[in-house]
Amino acid sequence: MPNEIAHVDALEILDSRGNPTVEVEVALRNGSVGVARVPSGASTGKNEAVELRDGDPTRFGGLGVRKAVENVRTILSERVLGEDATKQAAIDALLIEADGTPGKSKLGANAILGVSMAVARAAANSVGLPLYAYLGGATARRLPIPMMNVINGGKHAGNRLAFQEFMIVPHGAPSFSEALRYGVETFRALKRELERRGLPTAVGDEGGFAPDLESDEEACELIVEAIERAGFTPGKDVAIALDPAASSFFSDGAYDLASGERLDREALLDLYARWVKTYPIVSIEDGFDEADWDGYVAQTAAIGDRIQIVGDDNYVTNPKFIAEGIRRKATNAVLIKLNQIGTVTETVAAIELARTAGWRSVVSHRSGETEDSFIADFAVAFGTGQIKTGSLSRSERIAKYNRLLWIERQLGTQALFSSPFIAGDQAD
Ligand code: PGA
Ligand code: ZN
């Protein structure tokens, strides 16, 4: 068999926060090799597939992944040895079966995903295609609009900000590489603006600045100022996207903002509606607690015709929860994270399900990342049109942007790039 899996190995490596994570190497009989590194979240949804950690307090405060590594080297390796690496769905089915639990808690989603991604890479190398072309086929050519997280708060920074992510969306740019430049120039202007106001310019987990602002709204004001100072038109050239990750500031039925205000669902909904009128916001993700379905439904009914409403913690890239969201009209888009569900095939199923409902998908990194740029290829492969992969600093974020630059170059005049947020432009 030409693409037979001959060897599977794994290693405990470190992610961008210095926490242990899993790297997997898959080698085929014909000499092709695929390597993948698994990311890790901080503001995780309750129903995410389980990241297996050793829990041994004498190593990395219990965060070691030696068991997951061992599971790759033994149980998972035995399952896939001799299999055809180009049969991704069949291999993922074997991995899921080997674990046998709904949340992949027995062997670890970190172990399973590492094998699943490394198999895809090995197969792509074996057939001589770049990963995006192997996974997406000959028509994969849409570069994603980046959502760049330039101000970090919530669980990604030690500041007062309740909202986790304030992102810029350079959707008026004519190409991906120009969008990247718009982003960098706005990020630099934001730095100068922070310095001008005497605020710190140290960065958070996703490479955005983490100033201790008086209110969450101040971050929106600062970004608009930065967009203008960089010479761009807010809304037209560069828009704003938010991921409040509201589960992380929700308790006892109310939401605690950086300003000290405590808002109930209706008041928070009013705040979003007001911000959408005041700032050039095109997308809001996780605006309510992950269990607050009524909040999502009310928000989508109120402003879902004007902006993108994305579900992350409530769907955890799981077709079961996405189907529930579609039924309830809870959002009009879904965040896609491979490690929330644990295999390449199931992640693709989540994107396909969203598409059947007319929803958009945003492929996303995690706050704990590695130098692996798998999601750059993945976003192009499935033509999602949007990617969330951090700010314009920290190499684990930049690695994805740099990979997209190469994909853009390889596609040449075939490359597509357009804003899903500007009337007349088409994402799909
Ligand atoms: P996480 O954050 O990777 O820490 O979960 C990312 C997000 O909420 O989108
Ligand atoms: Zn999120």
Q: Is 366 in the pocket of ligand 1 (CB under 6 A)?
A: yes
Q: What are phi and psi of 204, to 5 degrees?
A: -95, -165
- Please give the distance, rounded to the nearest whole angstrom, from the Cα atom of residue 367 to the centre of ligand 1: 5
Domain count, the chain: 2
Mean pLDDT of the chain: 97
- Please give the distance, rounded to the nearest whole angstrom, from the Cα atom of residue 43 to the centre of ligand 1: 5
Instruction: Identify the pLDDT of residue 401.
Output: 99
Question: Which residues span the domain enclosing 55?
Answer: 5-128
- Please give the distance, rounded to the nearest whole angstrom, from the Cα atom of residue 271 to the centre of ligand 1: 22
Q: At what angle do helices 344-356 and 319-328 cross, to 10 degrees?
A: 10
In this predicted model, what pLDDT tens digit does every residue of 330-389 receive, in sequence order? 999 999 999 999 999 999 999 999 999 999 999 999 999 999 999 999 999 999 999 999
Asked if the structure places residue 227 within a domain, the reply is yes
Asked if the structure places residue 134 within a domain, the reply is no
CA angle centred on 378, ends 91 and 190, rounded to 5°: 145
Instruction: Identify the pLDDT of residue 153.
Output: 97
Pick the catalytic residue from 337, 346, 400, 408. 337
Is 367 found in the same domain as 249?
yes
Ligand 1 atom closest to the Cα of residue 285 is 9
Is 195 found in the same domain as 117?
no
Residue 191 appears among annotated catalytic residues: no
Is 180 found in the same domain as 34?
no
In this predicted model, what pLDDT tens digit does every residue of 266-304 receive, in sequence order? 999 999 999 999 999 999 999 999 999 999 999 999 999
Q: What percent of the chain has pLDDT over 70?
A: 99
Q: Is 243 in the pocket of ligand 1 (CB under 6 A)?
A: yes
Q: Which amino acid is at 103?
A: G
Is 180 found in the same domain as 75?
no
Q: And the tokens for 153?
A: 């708060």
Is 417 found in the same domain as 359?
yes
Provide the 10 A C-beta neighbour count for residue 324: 14
Asked if the structure places residue 140 within a domain, the reply is no
Is 115 found in the same domain as 72?
yes
Q: Is 340 in the pocket of ligand 1 (CB under 6 A)?
A: no
CATH of residue 159's domain is 3.20.20.120
Q: Is 43 in the pocket of ligand 1 (CB under 6 A)?
A: yes
1 pLDDT band (50/70/90 cuts)? Answer: confident
pLDDT reading at 425 higher than 60:
no
In this predicted model, what pLDDT tens digit does every residue of 373-405 receive, in sequence order? 999 999 999 999 999 999 999 999 999 999 999
Contact 148, 155 (CB under 8 A): no
Q: Is 15 in the pocket of ligand 1 (CB under 6 A)?
A: no
Provide the 10 A C-beta neighbour count for residue 397: 23
- Please give the distance, rounded to the nearest whole angstrom, from the Cα atom of residue 40 to the centre of ligand 1: 9
Contact 314, 321 (CB under 8 A): yes
Q: What percent of the chain has pLDDT over 90?
A: 98
Whole-number CA gyration radius for the chain: 21
Our mutation pick for probing the ligand 1 site, out of 21, 206, 367, counting the most ligand atoms within 8 A of Cβ, is: 367
pLDDT reading at 422 higher than 90:
no
Ligand 1 atom closest to the Cα of residue 313 is 8
What is the mean predicted confidence (pLDDT) over 406-416? 98
**Distance between CA atoms of residues 388 and 316, nearest Å:** 15
Question: Would you call 342 helix, strand, or coil by DSSP?
Answer: coil
Is 167 found in the same domain as 82?
no
Query: Ligand 2 being an ion, which residues bring their Cβ within 5 A of it?
Result: 243, 286, 312
pLDDT reading at 406 higher than 90:
yes
Q: Is 369 in the pocket of ligand 1 (CB under 6 A)?
A: no
β-pairing verdict for 165-169 and 145-152: antiparallel
- Please give the distance, rounded to the nearest whole angstrom, from the Cα atom of residue 60 to the centre of ligand 1: 21
Residue 266 appears among annotated catalytic residues: no
pLDDT reading at 306 higher than 90:
yes
pLDDT reading at 115 higher than 80:
yes
Q: Is 154 in the pocket of ligand 1 (CB under 6 A)?
A: no
Pick the catalytic residue from 23, 206, 369, 408. 206
Is 208 found in the same domain as 92?
no
Tell me which residue of 313, 273, 275 sits closest to 293, measured CA to CA: 313
In this predicted model, what pLDDT tens digit does every residue of 25-78 receive, in sequence order? 999 999 999 999 999 999 999 999 999 999 999 999 999 999 999 999 999 999
Instruction: Identify the pLDDT of residue 398.
Output: 98
Asked if the structure places residue 139 within a domain, the reply is no
Asked if the structure places residue 51 within a domain, the reply is yes
State which of 94, 128, 162 marks the end of a domain: 128
Is 213 found in the same domain as 267?
yes
324 pLDDT band (50/70/90 cuts)? Answer: very high
- Please give the distance, rounded to the nearest whole angstrom, from the Cα atom of residue 245 to the centre of ligand 2: 5
Q: Is 41 in the pocket of ligand 1 (CB under 6 A)?
A: yes
Contact 25, 379 (CB under 8 A): no
Q: Whose CA is nearest to atom 1 of ligand 1?
A: 41
CATH of residue 28's domain is 3.30.390.10
**Distance between CA atoms of residues 382 and 58, nearest Å:** 42
pLDDT reading at 177 higher than 70:
yes
Is 156 found in the same domain as 118?
no
State which of 73, 96, 128 marks the end of a domain: 128
Asked if the structure places residue 229 within a domain, the reply is yes
What is the mean predicted confidence (pLDDT) over 194-214? 97
In this predicted model, what pLDDT tens digit does every residue of 116-148 receive, in sequence order? 999 999 999 999 999 999 999 999 999 999 999
Is 124 found in the same domain as 267?
no
Asked if the structure places residue 133 within a domain, the reply is no
Asked if the structure places residue 257 within a domain, the reply is yes
Instruction: Identify the pLDDT of residue 424.
Output: 60
State which of 93, 128, 163 marks the end of a domain: 128
Is 375 found in the same domain as 285?
yes
